[in-house]
Structure 1
Amino acid sequence: MQTAEKSSAAASHVGTFQKYRPLLFSIAYRMLGSADDADDVLQDAYLRFQAEPLATVRSPKAYLSTIVTRLCLNELKSARVAREQYVGPWLPEPILSEAMDEGADPERRVTEYDSISIAFLSLLQTLTPAERAVFLLHEVFDYRYDEVAGMLDKSEVACRKLFSRAKRYLAANRPRFTTTPAEHRRILEQFMRASGSGDLDRLTAMLTEDVVFWADGGGKVRGAALHPVRGRDAVGRFVLGVSERFTPPGAIFGVADLNGRPTILVRNADGSPAIVVSVELDGGRIQSIWAIANPDKLGRVSAAALA
C-alpha cells in the first residue's frame, strides 16, 4: 500500500511540475540567459518540489516560481566569478523562438518574444540580479508586487523601488523606434549581403553612428573580438575583415527565427551551426550587433530552419 501511495504521489508531483514547466523555464532562461543553466535550475527545483508533500503546497505555481527564482539568484551569485573570467564578452545562449512559445494569444506572444531577444537579454544582464528578478516577475509574468515580495523575501516597497529603477534604466537604453518582423528581416538580409560584398560604404550606410558590435567566441573561435567594437567605421571594417578571413569554408548563410526575431544563422558545410548574428535596429539602421560563435552555446539552434 505504501509503495502504491508513493507511486501516486510521485506521479502527482511529476504531473504538476510538467504543467508549469514552460513557465518555469521561461523565468529561468530570462534570468540566466542560458538554456543549459535554466535546465539545471529546473532539475534542482523539481527535486526540492518532490520532497514537499503536495497537500502542504497551497499554490504550486507560486511555490515553484519562488523556488526557481531563488535558485536563479543563487546561480547568478556563483556564476559571477566565472563570467568575470570569461574570455571576451559573455552573451546569452540563443534558442529557437518556438521553444518559448507558451501558447499565448498573438498580442501576448509579441511581448513574450520581445523579452527573449538577444538585445533584451543582454540588457537584462546589466541589471542587478534583484532588479532583474523583480522586473521580469512583475512586467513579463504579471505577478503582483505582494507576490513578488514573497518570492524574493523583500518588502513590497523595496520591490516597487527595484522595479522603478530597472524600468527607467531599460527604457533609457532601448531603441526609440520599433520595426515589424518583416522590416527586421529585410534589413537583416541586406546586412548579410553587404557584409559579404567587401563594400565598406554599402555596409556602413546601414549602421548608426554609435553602433556597437559584441562577439562571443568564449576563447574558442578565431577572429572573435575580445572587446566591443564601437563606431560606424570601426564596426564596418571589422565585419568585412571577419567575413573575409574567418568565414568557414563552404559556409551556408540564412535567416532563422531565433529568440523571437529574424536572426542570421551561419552553418558550417556539414550543417552544424557556426555563428548566430542578432541585430537591434533604431530608425531603420543597425544600432547593435551580437555575434555568438562559442560552440558551447549553439547546440539549441541546430534544428533551426533557414529561410
Structure 2
Amino acid sequence: MDDITRDAGRRLAERFEADRAHLTAVAQRLLGSAAEADDALQEAWLRARQADLDAVQNLTGWLTTVVTRVCLNLLRARRNRREDFLDAHDGAHGTPALSAVAGDPAREALLADQVGVALLVVLDTLGPAERVAFVLHDMFAVPFEDIAPLIEKTPAATRQLASRARRRVQGRPAAPAADAVRRRRAVEAFLAATRGGDFTALVALLHPDVVLHADALVVPTPEPITVRGAEPVAQGAMAATARARLTGLALLDGEFGLVMAERGRPRLVLAFAFGADARITRIDVVAEPERLHATEIAVVDPARTGTGGGIEELDQ
C-alpha cells in the first residue's frame, strides 16, 4: 500500500468517525430502526473503503450518499418482501409477538422519543423513493437536486414526492379546537401515567364506567377482551409499562390516540372516546393487521418533525 492510498484511507476513516452521528441519524430515519441503521452503516463503510476517493471533494456529502443508497436498497428489499405490519407471530395462535423490540430496547426507545413514534410509523407507509425524498429534504435540508440522482428522478419529480409524503405526514384533529386541546392533554397524560406507573393519575383520567376493548391479538388471547371500570382498566395499563416506552401520541383517523411501534412498524393503536368532562369513557386497543392497515395514522405536530425547524415552510 503506497503513501497516497494510506493517506486516503486515513482521511476516510477520520471523516467517517466525525460524521458517524449524522450518518446514523440519516440511516435511523430512513429505516426506522436503530439496529437496522447499524447494519446499514457497516455496509456503507465496507463500500466506502473500496471506492476511489480521488475525485471526492465533499466527503460528508459523499458518505451521506453512500449510506442513503444502502438504506434505499434495504427499503426496496423490504417492500419487495411485502412485509406485513405484523411480521412476527406466535406459532400456536398466529398472533403477533409483542415483546419489547428486537435489538437494544433502550436504543429503539430513544429513537422513538427523538423522532416520534407516529412519524416513524407514517414513514413506514411511504414508498422508498418518497421516504428518501422526504427524510433527506425535510429532515436534513438536502437539496432536491442532490436527492434526485439517488432515486433516479428529476428534481421536480423529487420535489413532488416529498410534497406528497409531507401531506401524508401532517395531520389535523377532527374535534373543535377547545375539545381537541382537552383530548390531547388527556391522551398525553394517559401515556405519561402509564410510563411512570402512576396508578392514581390513571384512575383520575378515566370515567368510573370506562370500557376497554382489546382485540384477540393484543394480549394475545383466543377471544377479544373487555374490561370495565376505572380501576381494572388502570391495572391493565400498569401491565403495559414496557410497551409504553415504544408508544407515542398520534392522530388516528383524525382523533387523538396512541400508537405502539417496533422498528418503525405499528404493532397496536389505542383509540379513545371522551365524556363531557374530558374523562376517558372508552379505549379500543387494536392489533389486528387489517384494522391497523385501515387506520389512518398521522403526526400530531408536523411543525416539529424536522431537525432544526418546521417542515411546513420547506415545500419550496
**TM-score, length of structure 1 as denominator length:** 0.59
CA distance in 1, matches of 2:167, 2:213: 22
SS in 2 for 1:280: strand
Aligned length: 239
1:77 aligns with 2:76: yes
Contact 1:204 1:236 in 2 (8 A): no
Q: What's the counterpart of residue 160 of structure 2?
A: 161
Q: What's the counterpart of residue 115 of structure 2?
A: 116
Contact 2:144 2:158 in 1 (8 A): yes
Per-residue deviation, residues 74-132 of structure 1 (Å, max 9, x unmatched): 112222327324333999876559977xxxxxxxxxxxx98711121111111111111
Post-superposition offset of 1:54: 2.6
Q: What's the counterpart of residue 287 of structure 2?
A: none
More divergent stretch after superposition (82-91 vs 158-167): 82-91
Pair 1:245–1:118, CA change in 2 (3 A): closer
The share of aligned pairs that are identical, in percent, is 25
Q: What's the counterpart of residue 190 of structure 1?
A: 193
Letter matched to residue 164 of structure 2: R
Q: What's the counterpart of residue 31 of structure 2?
A: 32
Among 212, 219, 225, the alignment partner of 1:223 is 219
SS in 2 for 1:279: strand
Post-superposition offset of 1:190: 3.4
Among 247, 254, 257, the alignment partner of 1:278 is 247
Pair 1:38–1:242, CA change in 2 (3 A): farther
Pair 1:76–1:97, CA change in 2 (3 A): closer
1:289 aligns with 2:285: no
Pair 1:243–1:122, CA change in 2 (3 A): farther
Pair 1:148–1:71, CA change in 2 (3 A): same
CA distance in 2, matches of 1:17, 1:279: 32
Contact 2:40 2:70 in 1 (8 A): yes
CA RMSD between the two structures: 4.9
SS in 2 for 1:132: helix
SS in 2 for 1:164: helix
Contact 2:30 2:132 in 1 (8 A): yes
Among 86, 94, 98, the alignment partner of 2:88 is 86
Pair 1:165–1:291, CA change in 2 (3 A): closer
Unaligned runs of 5+ in 2: 90-95, 264-316
CA distance in 2, matches of 1:265, 1:40: 29
More divergent stretch after superposition (56-65 vs 86-95): 86-95
SS in 2 for 1:53: coil
Q: What's the counterpart of residue 298 of structure 1?
A: none
CA distance in 1, matches of 2:120, 2:221: 20
Q: What's the counterpart of residue 256 of structure 1?
A: none
Letter matched to residue 40 of structure 1: D
Unaligned runs of 5+ in 1: 101-112, 248-263, 267-273, 294-307
**TM-score, length of structure 2 as denominator length:** 0.57
CA distance in 1, matches of 2:42, 2:228: 43
Letter matched to residue 127 of structure 2: T
TM alignment of 1:1-307, pairs within 5 A: 2=1, 5-80=4-79, 81=81, 83-84=83-84, 85-87=87-89, 88=96, 96=107, 116-172=115-171, 188-191=191-194, 196=199, 202-203=205-206, 223=219, 244=236, 247=239, 266=242, 276-280=245-249, 287-290=257-260
Per-residue deviation, residues 24-60 of structure 1 (Å, max 9, x unmatched): 1111111111111111111111111111233221221
Letter matched to residue 83 of structure 1: E
Contact 1:114 1:120 in 2 (8 A): no
Contact 2:187 2:256 in 1 (8 A): no
